[in-house]
Amino acid sequence: MARFSSFNVVKPVLKDADERFAPSFRPDPERVKILEQYCEAFDRLIERHDGEEFEISVDEIGMTVKISVTFTEMEVNRGVTEFAQLMERADNVRLSWYDGDHFLAEFTFPSLWESAL
């Protein structure tokens, strides 16, 4: 079975957002590269903690990127450093119970787009 790659899920969503925001805004390649690194961290968390769902969305107004991951559980003593680092880099983090026995982590990251004007 192929290893999950969250950036493969992210790329088409970003491409769609690029098309919607053009021609006024364009993606900043450095910010996209940073998001790709975040996705690598998400991949490791998903693998270590049996992540079950991964979703991405782009806010139309603020152009922020929201990534949500669902876990059945997460042990504090494993992978917490990556989790904490992702939390530090996010503009906002929301943690909640989901569907009774799942843990939902929603991260909102800064915009990847810059003015093209």
Banded pLDDT at 102 (limits 50, 70, 90): confident
CATH of domain 6-112: 3.30.565
Whole-angstrom Cα distance, residue 80 to residue 105?
Answer: 13
What is the percentage of the chain residues whose pLDDT exceeds 90? 68
Residue 44, judged by CB atoms within 10 A of its CB (0-12, 13-18, 19+), counts as middle
Taking only the tens place, the pLDDT of each residue in 6-52 is 999 999 999 999 999 999 999 999 999 999 999 999 999 898 888 88
Average pLDDT for the chain:
90
**Whole-prediction pTM value?**
0.89
Whole-angstrom Cα distance, residue 25 to residue 18?
Answer: 8
- Domain boundary assignment for the chain: 6-112
